[in-house]
């Protein structure tokens, strides 16, 4: 497997874009990524399209990517539609990486697009609920807030975490989000605002639940030879790419499953990259609900089990901390246009590693001339007490 460069990234600002189609959102992001890479639509040799709910919400199923790419001037190449719930974008990125790393193609495009605002909330909520096993939860009123709330309660009981610990995640992320022009929300929330917001499902209040969103994000991956010709330095390479499905073990009393998808994928990713958590300069985690950011710290090895709340309380994961998490503002600020989320995480890491993150730029670990390693943690769907799909990437500044 050869080295692959993430030569370009692009994001359509996340928000409520009821007047824009999947095609328009997608085209914007892919054009931005191609411009960033110094390449054009004609250079793309293979394209991977991530989308989770187009068929259920917009009515476009089955050939979603082709409809977006054809009218963006990308045709007559291999196009694959990829779906892995909230990890659809990262999964598309991973397939694009394999297609270049294997030597099959020199330039591949990964695009994630989602439209969730449709003036029909029940339709959107029903679509999102299909990211679990509908044979089991279909029609029972099951929804993601309930699932995350149950897990949060187990976590509280096991480790003494408090509602304040969860609220602190939102205070941090909405503060970071102020600095991100691609975020859907630009309002820093106080502890009081988060805690006093209406309860969705104990212990989750409204602002602990990420909002839906419309948006798109893309990445252009290429061989080092192509990057040398077209892209600007510094180059960002893919140091690790791992995807893991639910590893069901029935341990209901435990906050996270031993050997769960997130832990397993992280472990494999560190091995693949030849680094450990102590080498990582920044992390983007899947804070679909506030407590999940704390368990994500533990899954990716930033701290031991049960120490997530303390890590944040001590300020270590603040944008000014030693291992900043969700400098982008996370899903709390960006909202969660499902298949776009993973590629937006990757975009944030690329910008940070290049030193292009503007007011939210981090300095990186000591004795480094700027950040070198960034990790993304993008979870999709649920099966039993695990993520249905977990995608971990480690990017490296060369």
Residues involved in catalysis:
86, 336
Max intra-chain CA distance, the chain = 56
Nearer to a copy of itself, 271 or 314 (CB): 271
Nearer to a copy of itself, 272 or 361 (CB): 272
Q: Which of 16, 43, 70, 150 forms a contact with a copy of itself (CB under 8 A)?
A: 70
Q: Which of 16, 118, 130, 355 forms a contact with a copy of itself (CB under 8 A)?
A: 130
Is residue 132 a contact point for a copy of itself (CB under 8 A)?
yes
To a copy of itself, the closest distance from the beta carbon of 97 in angstroms equals: 10
Is residue 266 a contact point for a copy of itself (CB under 8 A)?
no
Nearer to a copy of itself, 4 or 11 (CB): 4
Is residue 99 a contact point for a copy of itself (CB under 8 A)?
yes
Nearer to a copy of itself, 74 or 200 (CB): 74
| Residue 337 near residue 214 (C-beta atoms within 8 A) | yes
Is residue 19 a contact point for a copy of itself (CB under 8 A)?
no
Task: Single out the segment in contact with a copy of itself by CB under 8 A; choices: 158-166, 238-246, 319-327, 349-357.
Answer: 238-246
Task: Single out the segment in contact with a copy of itself by CB under 8 A; choices: 47-55, 183-191, 217-225, 294-302.
Answer: 47-55
What residue has token string 């993008």? 378
Instruction: Tell me, letter by letter, the H, E, C secondary structure of 272-284.
Output: HHCCCHHHCCEEE
Is residue 63 a contact point for a copy of itself (CB under 8 A)?
yes
Q: What number of chain residues touch a copy of itself (CB under 8 A)?
A: 65
Q: Could you give the strand order of the β-sheet that contains 386-397, starting from the edge strand earlier in sequence?
A: 46-50, 107-114, 214-223, 4-15, 236-245, 386-397, 373-383, 282-284
* Inter-CA distances, 195 with 145, 165, 191, 312, Å: 16, 10, 6, 17
Is residue 55 a contact point for a copy of itself (CB under 8 A)?
yes
Whole-number Å distance between alpha carbons of 79 and 313: 45
> Cα 317 from chain centroid?
17
To a copy of itself, the closest distance from the beta carbon of 110 in angstroms equals: 13
Q: Which of 14, 53, 117, 166 forms a contact with a copy of itself (CB under 8 A)?
A: 53
Give, as ranges, the residues between 315 and 334 that touch a copy of itself (CB under 8 A): none
Nearer to a copy of itself, 64 or 396 (CB): 64
* Inter-CA distances, 134 with 127, 166, 212, 353, Å: 11, 29, 21, 40
Structure-token pair, residue 156: 């509280």
Residues 333-372: x where in contact with a copy of itself by CB under 8 A, - otherwise, as a string? ----------------------------------------
Ramachandran region of residue 141, left (φ > 0), alpha (ψ -120 to 50) or beta?
left
Structure-token pair, residue 198: 């209406």
To a copy of itself, the closest distance from the beta carbon of 149 in angstroms equals: 20
Is residue 67 a contact point for a copy of itself (CB under 8 A)?
yes
Nearer to a copy of itself, 58 or 175 (CB): 58
Nearer to a copy of itself, 247 or 327 (CB): 247
Q: Which of 23, 168, 286, 397 forms a contact with a copy of itself (CB under 8 A)?
A: 23
Nearer to a copy of itself, 130 or 361 (CB): 130
Half-sphere exposure of 157 (CA within 13 A, CB side): 11
| Residue 36 near residue 220 (C-beta atoms within 8 A) | yes
Whole-number Å distance between alpha carbons of 131 and 269: 24
Q: How many residues does the chain have?
A: 398
- CB-neighbour burial class of residue 143 (10 A; exposed 0-12, middle 13-18, buried 19+): middle
Vertex 187 angle, CA 185 and 192, to 5°? 125
Whole-number Å distance between alpha carbons of 240 and 269: 5
Task: Single out the segment in contact with a copy of itself by CB under 8 A; choices: 222-230, 283-291, 303-311, 383-391.
Answer: 383-391
Is residue 62 a contact point for a copy of itself (CB under 8 A)?
yes
Query: Given the rule CB under 8 A, which residues bind a copy of itself?
Result: 1, 21, 23, 47, 52-53, 55-56, 58-67, 69-70, 74-85, 88, 91, 95, 98-99, 101-104, 127, 130-135, 138, 242-248, 259, 261, 264, 380-381, 383-384, 388-389
């Amino acid at each position: 497997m050869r080295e692959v460069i993430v030569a370009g990234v692009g994001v359509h600002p996340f928000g409520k874009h009821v007047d824009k189609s999947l095609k328009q959102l997608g085209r914007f992001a892919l054009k931005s990524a191609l411009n960033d890479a110094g390449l054009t639509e004609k250079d793309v040799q293979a394209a991977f399209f991530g989308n989770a709910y187009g068929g259920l919400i917009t009515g476009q199923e089955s050939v979603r990517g082709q409809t977006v790419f054809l009218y963006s001037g990308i045709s007559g190449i291999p196009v694959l539609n990829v779906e892995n719930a909230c990890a659809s974008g990262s999964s598309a990125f991973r397939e694009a990486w394999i297609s270049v790393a294997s030597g099959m193609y020199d330039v591949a495009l990964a695009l994630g697009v989602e439209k969730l605002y449709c003036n029909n909330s029940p339709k959107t909520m029903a679509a999102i609920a299909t990211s679990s096993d509908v044979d089991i939860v279909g029609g029972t009123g099951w929804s993601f807030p309930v699932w995350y709330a149950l897990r949060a309660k187990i976590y509280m009981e096991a480790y003494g975490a408090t509602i304040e610990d969860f609220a602190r995640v939102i205070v941090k992320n909405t503060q970071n989000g102020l600095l991100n022009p691609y975020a859907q929300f630009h309002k820093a929330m106080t502890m009081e605002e988060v805690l006093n917001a209406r309860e969705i499902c104990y212990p989750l209040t409204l602002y602990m639940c990420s909002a839906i969103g419309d948006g798109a994000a893309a990445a252009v991956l290429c061989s080092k030879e192509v990057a040398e010709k077209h892209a600007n330095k510094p180059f960002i390479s893919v140091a690790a790419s791992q995807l893991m499905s639910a590893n069901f073990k029935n341990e209901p009393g435990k906050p996270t499953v031993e050997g769960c998808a997130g832990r397993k994928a992280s472990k494999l990713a560190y091995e693949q990259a030849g680094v450990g958590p102590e080498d990582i300069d920044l992390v983007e985690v899947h804070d679909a609900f506030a407590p999940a950011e704390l368990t994500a710290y533990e899954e990716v090895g930033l701290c031991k089990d049960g120490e997530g709340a303390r890590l944040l309380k001590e300020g270590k994961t603040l944008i000014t901390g030693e291992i900043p998490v969700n400098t982008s503002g996370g899903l709390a600020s960006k909202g969660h246009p499902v298949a776009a989320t993973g590629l937006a995480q990757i975009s944030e890491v690329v910008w940070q590693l290049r030193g292009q993150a503007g007011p939210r730029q981090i300095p990186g670990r000591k004795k480094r001339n700027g950040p070198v390693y960034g990790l993304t943690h993008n979870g999709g769907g649920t099966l039993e007490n695990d993520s249905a799909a977990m995608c971990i990437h480690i990017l490296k500044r060369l």
